[in-house]
Chains A and B, each alone.
Chain A
Amino acid sequence: MLAKRIVPCLDIRDGRVVKGVNFAGIREVDDPVSLARFYNESGADELVFYDITATYEGRSLFTDLLRRVAGEIFIPLTVGGGIRSLEDFDRVLRSGADKVSVNSGAIADPRIIGEAAKRYGDQCVVLSMDVKRVGDAFHVFSHGGRIDAGLDAIEWAVYGAEHGAGEIVVNSIDTDGMKQGFDLPLLAQITAHVRLPVVASGGAGCIDHFLDLFRTLPAVTAGLAASVFHFKEVDIAQLKRVLARNQIPVR
């Protein structure tokens, strides 16, 4: 039986993890390789590295660290942040990424989804979308969630699925950072309209939120979070024990 995936996301700037991770309450660690190792040992099913660097130097530090992680941590690695062209896909895939997550870059030029899928295969194209309620609808926002792209989230997800995305990450701006649970109504809409694996993001604050997610929406295939893992509010090994006790399949 396919296991539900638990996915920590690390924001990287200039080759270091932004905000770091509080390691056993002793010291803050911001070395991506050490953290990748730590999460791998805690039972993370996949790692997402999100590059928030704006400079050329930062980009090359990012690809260096990706190579180091890929040479040592043998679980799937997804890379996002600043992916706007096939050259960007190429750069991170050559450095050890298995999947590439495209967000604003696909809004700016939707053809990138199909072109990347054709060149590298559907399995490595992840359409990541930041979604917020506007009136009665769900809108896609670009530029880190700041600008309403004028796209309906469900239509955008369907477009991605039809043009070669292999997975969809749905990040709810409304629930992100609130620690009140995942955005189940939004996720229910997306999973009802696309057959791709759907990764839930935004809103996890405790173990019960993951349990609610997978119990209420068995169609969701993975839960992604950042700070609750980094600050040890949720321990991945313990989370998986709780899910397993509740008949949610985990590795």
Chain B
Amino acid sequence: MIAIIDYGVGNLYSLLGSLRRIGKEAAVTADPEQIRGADRIILPGVGAFGDAMARLRDTGLVPLLLDQAQRKPLLGICLGMQLLFERSYEYGEHTGLGLLRGSVVPLAEVLGPEFRIPHMGWNALRFPKPSPLFRYTREGEYVYYVHSFYATDCEESVIATSEYGIPVTGAVQSGSVFGTQFHPEKSGETGLGILRAFSEI
């Protein structure tokens, strides 16, 4: 069973639907016992880093998540990926979970004015190194992004990028901790393949 961490973030229909499509049982939960009993964990997230981190702390689940991340595969999606890093500079400075080295900074600071922000839409994947997360995915396949901040100073964990003026961090891995900046649950067949791969790690 895959535990999708419930800390009051919005739309999980597509994520639940995607996992159901690939035949994986999943539950949206904040119950520590259920999370301990799960064979893997997904940390979703949309909105602002500071708010999301505060809400996650309010659930009291942070110590459990840090512990469980050492024991079973964890996948952070979009803002959920950003929360895995040490800190974010989205409207102030905020501390993240620190499971991955690096920080989250505004795209506006590095992109030329010809690049629209948010980085919104379908962009092609590049793989600087192989990862089991992409065992069903080829370079050049498109995934759906929507974000205005991106992960940087994290070269050692980057497993996918997409070109948008810079090679934007698309996915990261450190051991069994994974994150995707894009939304696999919104990325059609390519996204289903990525979720399937995660469910088999």
Q: Which residues of A contact B (CB under 8 A)?
A: 1-5, 40, 45, 67, 70-72, 74-76, 93-98, 118-124, 166-167, 195-198, 219, 221-222, 251
Query: For B21, what are the chain A residues with a Cβ–Cβ distance below 8 Å?
Result: 72, 74
A99, chain B: closest CB distance, angstroms: 8
CB-based nearest B residue for A4: B121
A-B contact count (CB 8 A): 106
Asked, given contacts A74-B187, A76-B186, A123-B146, whether A94 binds B10 with beta carbons under 8 Å apart, the answer is yes
A230, chain B: closest CB distance, angstroms: 21
B24, chain A: closest CB distance, angstroms: 14
Query: For B120, what are the chain A residues with a Cβ–Cβ distance below 8 Å?
Result: 123, 166-167, 197, 221
B125, chain A: closest CB distance, angstroms: 11
Query: For B191, what are the chain A residues with a Cβ–Cβ distance below 8 Å?
Result: 74
Q: How many residues of B contact A (CB 8 A)?
A: 39
| Residue with the highest number of chain A CB atoms closer than 10 Å, among B13, B113, B147, B188 | B13
Q: How far is the CA of A3 from the CA of B123 in the complex (A)?
A: 6
B98, chain A: closest CB distance, angstroms: 23
CB-based nearest B residue for A196: B116
Q: How far is the CA of A5 from the CA of B120 in the complex (A)?
A: 10
CB-based nearest B residue for A67: B13
Query: For B119, what are the chain A residues with a Cβ–Cβ distance below 8 Å?
Result: 2
Which listed residue, B11, B148, B162, touches A96 by the CB 8 Å rule? B11
Q: When each residue 8-20 of chain B gets 1 if its CB lies under 8 Å from chain A and 0 otherwise, what string results?
A: 0011011011101
Cβ–Cβ contact B117 & A71, under 8 A: no
Q: How far is the CA of A100 from the CA of B147 in the complex (A)?
A: 16
Query: For B163, what are the chain A residues with a Cβ–Cβ distance below 8 Å?
Result: 1
Asked, given contacts A166-B120, A196-B117, A221-B121, whether A75 binds B186 with beta carbons under 8 Å apart, the answer is yes
Asked, given contacts A74-B17, A75-B144, A123-B146, whether A3 binds B121 with beta carbons under 8 Å apart, the answer is yes
B130, chain A: closest CB distance, angstroms: 22
